[in-house]
Amino acid sequence: MGNKNLNKALHYIALAQIAKDTDGKKYYEKKLQEGKSKLSALRSLKRYIARRVYTTLKQLSD
């Protein structure tokens, strides 16, 4: 099921990314152009953010 607190944090980050002109907003809009629904595009953005956070943390630990 996952960590609810982490999911909530990713959700807030994704909403903040959409509100401003960021790479996240470009990614979100690209997904909308591909025909995804707003909810599906938001879900994709959250996964995109999670991958970037994981990669950054992994690089810091090496």
The residue with greater pLDDT, 1 or 41, is 41
Write out pLDDT tens, residues 21-58.
999 999 999 999 999 999 999 999 999 999 999 999 99
The pTM assigned to this predicted structure is: 0.89
Under the banding of pLDDT at 50, 70 and 90, the label for residue 62 is confident
pLDDT at 1: 65
pLDDT at 52: 94
Domain ranges for the chain: 4-61
The upper half-sphere exposure of residue 33, i.e. CA atoms within 13 Å in the direction of its Cβ, equals 6
Contacts for 49-57: CB closer than 8 Å, 24+ residues apart: 49/10, 49/13, 49/14, 49/17, 49/24, 50/10
Encoded amino acid at 59, one letter? Q
Cα 26 from Cα 14, distance rounded (Å)? 12
